[in-house]
């Protein structure tokens, strides 16, 4: 959630009302999704999980204290950078310079934003790419190649991709693929 909600660590022990507003919408959506899990394919459930996280993010944002360390403009800038990253994640040339140019923010400022989240800009890009690969491997039809997924999400070296994937998820991508076939 730190990737989605700046200052989420300040949301502990806060109650999100499930009866009104965005909390009610999030609650109803997540409950209805959970109640239908046995009647959905894995790819359908995976697609709905993104929307569930978006709604949960909105609900948390609605109760997050306003006095946390990240200012409104910094929060906006961070969202701008993350949105740019998401829309360019498949570009293997995505780097600090491209992100800075695309968001009209300085590389130093962008790195400071990610320091507030205890990560670095390129570490965040790497993490998002690995997560997208994981999702695609789970939903991958038989006959497709792992290399196609890795290349799609900006990895140019399969051995580096396999090591990074195993580091993040504890299993090599080939093992995950086999378990989902």
**Is 6 a residue whose pLDDT tops 70?**
no
pTM reported for the whole predicted model: 0.60
Instruction: Assign 45 a pLDDT band (cuts: 50, 70, 90).
Output: confident
Distance CA 143, CA 97 (A): 37
Of the listed ranges 8-17, 102-111, 115-124, 130-139, the one predicted with least confidence? 8-17
Question: Would you call 176 helix, strand, or coil by DSSP?
Answer: helix
The full set of domain ranges for the chain reads 8-63, 70-181
Instruction: Give pLDDT, residue 8.
Output: 60
Q: Does the CA dihedral 20-22-26-28 come out positive or negative?
A: positive
Q: Select the CATH number that applies to the domain covering 70-181 from these four: 1.10.10.60, 3.40.50.300, 2.60.120.260, 1.10.10.10.
A: 1.10.10.60
Q: Residues 50-58: what's their mean pLDDT? A: 79
Closest CA to 132 of 110, 113, 157, 155: 155
**Is 122 a residue whose pLDDT tops 90?**
yes
Residues 135 and 177 sit within 8 Å (Cβ to Cβ): no
Per-residue pLDDT reduced to its tens digit, 133-175: 998 888 876 667 888 999 999 888 899 899 999 999 999 998 8
How many CA atoms, within 13 angstroms, populate the side-chain half-sphere of residue 69? Answer: 11
Instruction: Give pLDDT, residue 83.
Output: 92
Residues 90 and 152 sit within 8 Å (Cβ to Cβ): yes
Distance CA 153, CA 164 (A): 13
Rounded mean pLDDT of the chain? 83
Residues 86 and 30 sit within 8 Å (Cβ to Cβ): no
Instruction: Give pLDDT, residue 3.
Output: 55
Instruction: Assign 13 a pLDDT band (cuts: 50, 70, 90).
Output: low
Q: What percent of the chain has pLDDT over 70?
A: 85
Q: Does the CA dihedral 61-63-66-67 come out positive or negative?
A: negative
**Is 43 a residue whose pLDDT tops 80?**
no
Closest CA to 52 of 79, 74, 34, 76: 34
Distance CA 22, CA 16 (A): 9
């Amino acid at each position: 959630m730190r990737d989605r909600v700046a200052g989420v660590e300040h949301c502990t022990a806060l109650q999100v009302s499930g009866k009104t507003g965005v909390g009610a919408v999030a609650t109803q959506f997540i409950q209805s999704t959970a109640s239908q899990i046995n009647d959905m394919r894995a790819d359908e459930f995976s697609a709905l999980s993104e929307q569930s996280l978006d709604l949960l993010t909105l609900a948390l944002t609605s109760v997050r204290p306003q006095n946390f360390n990240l200012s409104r403009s910094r929060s906006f800038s961070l969202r701008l950078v993350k949105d740019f990253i998401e829309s360019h994640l498949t570009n293997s040339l995505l780097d600090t310079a491209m992100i800075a140019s695309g968001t009209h923010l300085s590389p130093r400022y962008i790195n400071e934003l990610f320091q507030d989240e205890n990560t670095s800009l390129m570490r965040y890009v790497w993490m998002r790419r690995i997560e997208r690969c994981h999702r695609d491997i789970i939903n991958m039809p038989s006959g497709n190649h792992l290399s196609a997924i890795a290349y799609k999400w900006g990895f140019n070296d399969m051995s580096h991709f396999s090591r990074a994937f195993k580091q993040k998820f504890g299993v090599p991508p080939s093992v995950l693929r086999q378990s989902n076939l």
